[in-house]
Amino acid sequence: MGIALAEARRALETGDVPIGAVVLGPDGGVLGLGRNEREAHGDPTAHAEMVAIREAAQKLGSWRLEGCTLVVTLEPCTMCAGAIVLARVPKVVFGAWDEKAGAAGSVFDVLRERRLNHWVEVFPGVRQEECAVLLTDFFGGHR
């Protein structure tokens, strides 16, 4: 989670919402890093998870991220949860809950939806307060 938090802080440099992600390989090595880059690139799909998943897939030479773990500072949204399922990521670790748009148990539960062809093991609340404060501070300064 420390790596994901460092990426989240880097998102602040471009005025993006401070969310960071990292994809770890089966051996625990870093395969992909991501931070929100929507403002930086004018891309609505440039969420931290999407950026990290793309980088990991490119590094592996495969879209299947079997055996990998995605660590992210905020509960994934529906778009990112869909990408996690499609990439066959077996484990997701996240920090803060997203009570407005979360798709890993708060608003929706896409990652554990039994009607889909892949299910994800979810580990919520890791360094939750630290992840939440980063977002609260960011949005407090924008209001």
- SS3 state at 139: helix
- Identify whether 49 is a catalytic site residue: yes
Rounded distance between C-alpha atoms, residue 22 and residue 29, angstroms: 10
142 is in an annotated binding site: no
47 is in an annotated binding site: yes
Residues 6+ apart with CB under 8 A from 4: 20, 21, 22, 48, 71, 72, 73, 95
Rounded distance between C-alpha atoms, residue 122 and residue 40, angstroms: 29
Which residue in the list 37, 49, 55, 75 is annotated as catalytic? 49
- What are the distances in angstroms from CA 25 to CA 8, 22, 29, 95, 135? 20, 10, 5, 19, 27
Rounded distance between C-alpha atoms, residue 95 and residue 8, angstroms: 12
Binding residues for Zn(2+): 47, 77, 80
Binding residues: 47, 77, 80
Q: Give the catalytic positions in this structure.
A: 49
